[in-house]
Amino acid sequence: MDAIRRSLLGQLARLSAGAALVPFSSLASAGINQQPVRREGDPTKRYGMLIDLRQCIGCQACTVSCHIENAAPLGQFRTTVAQYEVQHQESGELATFMLPRLCNHCENPPCVPVCPVEATYQQQDGIVVVDSDRCVGCAYCVNACPYDARFINERTQTADKCTFCAHRLEAGLLPACVESCVGGARIIGDMRNPDSQISRLINEHRDALMVLQPEKNTLPQVFYLGMDERFTTRPVAEPVALEVLDPHGQEMGYEFHH
């Protein structure tokens, strides 16, 4: 794995442990376990997403648009923006750190091989999806995901997650979260196309890009630009409590619960 380099937001508050740079050189050789054969999707493409944290303002437009587009049950989300208030170790100044979260559509997805009925599978374009007609709701995939990106849909009792809005991509549209991002922080595209926006940005900012939990060897295909190099995936922090109530009158937060 490449050595950790300085990130673009070094002036932000520092935390104790951090993320490592994207190990592009090991994309072909890394592996976790025996992955099933990929099926469906366009084999000439490999979709990925780049999130520019310098542009994210934490407005939650992505969360809301995704929720509406994919008809998720109230209180369950395919994507969120976690908001942390962090303190600079030297100056004591406070800053707000935004961290959008979603399925990472890993090159080696640990959620796929654990599914006993192959309801969770990876398309040839790299997108990880769930066949709700086959899913038995065992939650093996939910427990296998190191990114808290899956949940059991309360309505369908099957596994649910971000799919990069594959149905919209097939129609030539952007995913709901990308289309609604007011800051243009989310960029999705075909990484095998050298002329795509995401390919150009990856080439331009290669040394500054980071992924979440690189030590898991899942090879996430969601890349972060502008992340503090010592910001961990799950820092010791209390969830942000937003003044939104579920049908039972309980507060709903957009940060993941421990």
Q: How far apart are CA 107 and CA 101, in angstroms?
A: 17
pLDDT band at residue 193 using 50, 70 and 90 as cut-offs: very high
pLDDT band at residue 157 using 50, 70 and 90 as cut-offs: very high
pLDDT per residue as tens digits for the range 102-127: 999 999 999 999 999 999 999 999 99
Mean pLDDT of 44-63: 94
pLDDT at residue 190, rounded to an integer: 95
The better pLDDT of the pair 180, 38 is held by 180
Q: What is the mean pLDDT of the chain?
A: 79
Show the DSSP H helices in 100-196 as ranges: 140-144, 166-170, 176-180
Mean pLDDT of 156-164: 96
pLDDT at residue 84, rounded to an integer: 75
Mean pLDDT of 90-113: 88
Q: How far apart are CA 68 and CA 51, in angstroms?
A: 21
Name the token pair of 150: 């899956």
Neighbours of 35 (CB within 10 A): 15
List of E strands, 15-149: 47-52, 80-87, 94-101, 120-122, 128-130
pLDDT at residue 255, rounded to an integer: 40
Residue 20's closest CA among 201, 204, 217? 217
Q: How far apart are CA 99 and CA 54, in angstroms?
A: 11
Task: Work out the end-to-end distance of the chain between its first and last CA atoms, rounded to an integer number of angstroms.
Answer: 29
pLDDT above 90 as % of the chain: 59
pLDDT above 70 as % of the chain: 75
pLDDT band at residue 246 using 50, 70 and 90 as cut-offs: low
Residue 230 has pLDDT above 90, yes or no: no
Global pTM reads: 0.76
